[in-house]
Chain A
């Protein structure tokens, strides 16, 4: 007798939006557990680590924010290859406010988030009409151009950058700011994209002419999403610059463009949770591999290939699918 594996969707997936979820503790836990996991993990579990690892988790949160920012832009069909543009603008705005006017992080973070996002949106507005690879090319080139501009004109400290910026009051405070903002971005964008507004945004990605034909100004929606994505990226930059107590050319470096994309792809795009998951795998992994010295990049690349080939849909999509399924072996004649 042969056996085959049968997979059945859990009924609760269908009912989860309804009052039925409140009928038993089992169903409530089933629904709440995946949502509670990142909250408990980021606010209670991660702060228990040693100061060295906390440091790594803070930079993980920065990359996770950049990955969310990338995923936000992807939701409307904009593929950014220049997340470092957002990071760099955010870091220079916060750095300049702190360095020249002595504003504390309490003020520089929000100003850099909103102001930086406005600068990025205006800078990218002319290319917003471009689709696919053309938008990507411009975003790739922009941070590299600014890098040379800073070097040549020696603005904002030139190659030296702006040093001696105010740090955060303490490592734990810093960690809680990063993780709280990460959670707000994660749940906020998930909710936004689930709303009717999110339907329009995903519709533009799916078929922009159909959305135009529905009487909606797609360029206005694209601008809004660009602003939101840029705001998350700029916040990451502003946060990172106070974390490093330094704003400089490395902010526009390619690392900040490539790592978030890798994280979002490994974790799975379109869910934001995938981006966060990806960042929390890749950044610590890169740190663990440091022990391998020069071979680090080889193994790192190998892991990336294994993830992308093994689970092309993305880790989060895979886990979610399994979570909502029963599996059992049944007999086949």
Chain B
């Protein structure tokens, strides 16, 4: 009788497959819980105590957000700075901020922003990526988009544009008027500001190349 080989033996492959499948299942369950911890939202206390969270609390809208190159990590990271006025206030409470963000999130879903834009990697590239839109210098004090709307602050300029997008030539493919109300626009701007403060490991990659996007460059 020919010598039996382990390689052609069913039991060896069965046991190997059982090991790999079982181990992978455990790893995936662990990964699920590990991810939940990583993406859980921070609290207002974290912001006040300078605790860095990947997703900061909604009250981050009370703070100035800048985009800085992190040489150790090799990409830009959002940095939460001192207090800053947001629609004339810098004392949005946890409840108010959460409510505003919720309105913005529902608005973004109702108006289907992702049909054209990209938010946190989800959506389309027919219109500009909105993940870091708040940090775009074009909406800043000397930016062309802010001066175009005739408003004095970034949030008011963005809210004005969202309410009457078809009046302003911003992009080769102009945004249609979606009937966004003043309240919804405020919520959407809060939603965008909060989104820009999320540490996305440098995504979108090309954002830092916009002139002025990364602090002082």
Q: Do A and B come from one complex?
A: no
Q: Which residues in A have some Cβ–Cβ distance to B below 8 Å? A: none
Residue ranges of B at the interface with A (Cβ–Cβ < 8 Å): none
